[in-house]
Structure 1
């Protein structure tokens, strides 16, 4: 059985850092795969996804995973799952990294597949320093005039049916 690390994502909110982690490994009792959520909970499952593209990736795993997969079959499934995340979520990057962990070794497959290979630009664009105008002037009092018009209360009528 292969443990596959699918996705690690870090997000910054209000100065705090959170990490959604997938942790895989092998010990004397076998292969294990865990998720560690930013809020601290953990799960131990046969396949896991985390991050912004995880829903698309999970759909692929749910339809294609089965116990005791061969290495090539498992890697193909991981490529399909991560690619689904990439193509269905703008925050999921552009390449597939994989890590195959067995009892005897760990194999890092960096840039294993690049489904969104960056194309060469048709032209180069260079802008002379100072091309973009800017100002040190602060903009204040954007609202020049404001009028508040109260909305009259609705007339008493039949109550809404909430049954």
Structure 2
């Protein structure tokens, strides 16, 4: 779950079948994670998966490396205070609570 989860869940819900073979299931998960990554700039790049079967757990890292490689020409290091704050303006929000309800969450 995370900021790209809606795109990933849509792919999983569309492509899931109870009798998926392992390799097809891995590919479905890869496509779903890739959709989540591409739908959110805050997500990472590489795709890691975890396969859980009766035989055990297999962590595949990376399952797919990003096609977008970073080619920085130098290392960027900035001292604290390098970027000055030129102006600061605090604007209070004027809000009115129209209706407030409390619902108990079902945890069963």
TM-score range normalised by the length of the shorter chain: 0.5 to 0.7
Segments of structure 1 that go 5 or more residues without pairing to the other structure are 1-49, 144-163
Q: Report which of the two has the higher share of strand.
A: 1
Question: Structure 1 residue 114: deviation in Å?
Answer: 2.0
Of 85, 90, 93, the match for 2:41: 90
Instruction: Count how many residue pairs are aligned between Structure 1 and Structure 2.
Output: 89
For structure 2, list consecutive stretches of 5 or more residues without a partner in the other structure: 91-108
Higher Rg: 1
CA spacing shift, 1:133–1:104, aligned 2, 3 Å? closer
Q: Which residue of 2 aligns with 1:124?
A: 74
Q: Which has the higher helix share?
A: 2
After superposition, the CA RMSD in angstroms is 3.1
Is the deviation greater in 70-79 or in 103-112?
103-112
Q: Which residue of 1 aligns with 2:16?
A: 65
TM normalised by structure 1 equals 0.45
Which whole-Å CA distance do the structure 2 matches of 1:128 and 1:100 have between them?
A: 41
Query: Is the 1:83–1:115 Cα contact (8 Å) retained in structure 2?
Result: no
Aligned match of 2:29: 78
